[in-house]
Amino acid sequence: MKNKSLFKVLSLFAIVAVVLFVTAQSGFCDAETTLNAKQAADMQKDMITKIVIAALGVAISSIAIWIIGSIYNKFFVDRSLFPSNDKDDVLNTPKTVEEAVAGFIKRNRLQ
């Protein structure tokens, strides 16, 4: 019971501190800090330009990683490590323990 009352008191202090902090920030409403319409439009264009540049950077990086990965897989990965899709190699749930062990041995080439 004591912890709940302590929590309530601390919560009240936290709320009061947040309200005081938010109301003390008078810089948002000062007449000197308000922007005219042209400055606001310029800032908006700058922000949009930066977002578009960042998005293009992400897209170009993603495409470059995909191309490098494709080239790496084509020339440097040994295809014999990956078996072809076999009809018997379907990922069905084994019915018995023996079937599970046999499937594990077959898939991991432990024969």
At 23-77, the pLDDT tens digits run 776 655 555 556 677 888 888 899 999 999 999 999 999 999 999 999 988 888 7
pLDDT at position 30: 53
pLDDT at position 63: 96
Structural tokens at position 1: 């019971």
Whether 94 contacts 103, CB under 8 Å: yes
Q: Name the pTM for this structure.
A: 0.43
Helices first, then strands: H and E counts in the chain: 3, 0
pLDDT at position 102: 86
d(CA 40, CA 71): 47
Task: Say which residue, 1 or 64, is predicted with more confidence.
Answer: 64
At 75-98, the pLDDT tens digits run 887 777 666 666 666 667 888 999
- Classified as helix, coil or strand, 34 is coil
pLDDT at position 61: 96
Quick check: 111 pLDDT over 60?
no
Q: What is the mean pLDDT of residues 11-18?
A: 85
Whether 111 contacts 105, CB under 8 Å: yes
d(CA 83, CA 109): 10
- Classified as helix, coil or strand, 85 is coil
3-state helix, strand, coil in the chain (%, to 5): 75, 0, 25
For 106, other C-beta atoms within 10 Å of its C-beta total 14
